[in-house]
Every structure is written in structure tokens, then in C-alpha cells.
Amino acid sequence: MSEKIIIKYFSDKIEKLHPIAGRSDWIDLRSSEDVTLKAGEYRLIRLGVGMKLPDGYEAHVVPRSSTFKNFGIIQVNHQGVIDSSYCGDGDEWMMPVLAMRDTKISVNDRICQFRIMKKQPEIIFEETLHLSGEDRGGFGTTGVQ
């Protein structure tokens, strides 16, 4: 089943977005500006797009697997979450990055990717004094024999 997403391009210099049929359900996003960063510098990099997501959905934005190797940048919030209310005429998507080395990013460089996810349903917490599952030994102990 397909979902229609209304997209606005803030730049005519970047390639239009398109899914990679049969290979991935993540869609690449590109820098819409030339950026030069020194090691330790922070910057919001413009991605040149804004979207009206379907109701009940959000976009998860993460670096591509090659982003650190190619550009030496990390996404400072690890994962960006863009909800369906971020859809105004000036709501351009951006990627917050920290340069770990001196680097240059050019217009159209693929620096991150996104996918559309259904929002979490409403949750009601029911308090208890004991959980019924097997005690695995605490955080960080998975796989320790």
C-alpha cells in the first residue's frame, strides 16, 4: 500500500527524492549547501526539503552508514524525529552535525537517510511491584555466560 507525501523543495540544486525499489525502505537525503567544517564545529546542514507527512506517521532521520567515513561528521542527536506537525512553508529539514575532523560537504552529497514510521499508539502504564519475566542480570549483561 502506498502513502502520498507532499514535498516542497527548498533548493533546485539537489536531486529529487526517490525510493530505491526493492533495495531499501530508507530514502537518502542530500546536503543542499556547500559546507566546510573544522574539527569540533557544530552546524545544522540544510537538506533542501520539507514534507507534509500522513497523519499518524513520523520520519526518522539517521546518518548513512558511510557518512562518518566519508565526511567525519556525526549526527549530534543520534536520530532526528520529525512529526507530522512540522509541515509549515518554512519548515525545512536539517541535520545537526558535529565535525570530528576538518571536512567539506558539497551540494548533493548524500549525508543522511529517512524512513516513515507509524507513531506509537497511546500507552497506559499499569504499575506493579514485580515483573513476571526471567531476570537476565541487569543492563549490559546480555550474552554473558
Q: Amino acid identity, residue 30? A: R
Non-local CB neighbours of 73 within 8 Å, separated by 6+ positions: 37, 63, 67, 97, 98, 99, 100, 103, 105, 111
Separation CA 129–CA 133 (nearest Å): 13
Which of 28, 83, 102, 109 does the annotation list as catalytic?
83
Give the whole-angstrom CA distance, residue 102 versus residue 104.
7
- Judge whether 83 counts as a catalytic residue: yes
The dihedral over CA atoms of 82, 116, 64, 48, expressed in degrees to the nearest 10, equals -60
Q: Is 86 helix (H, G, I), strand (E, B) or coil?
A: coil
Which residues are identified as catalytic? 83
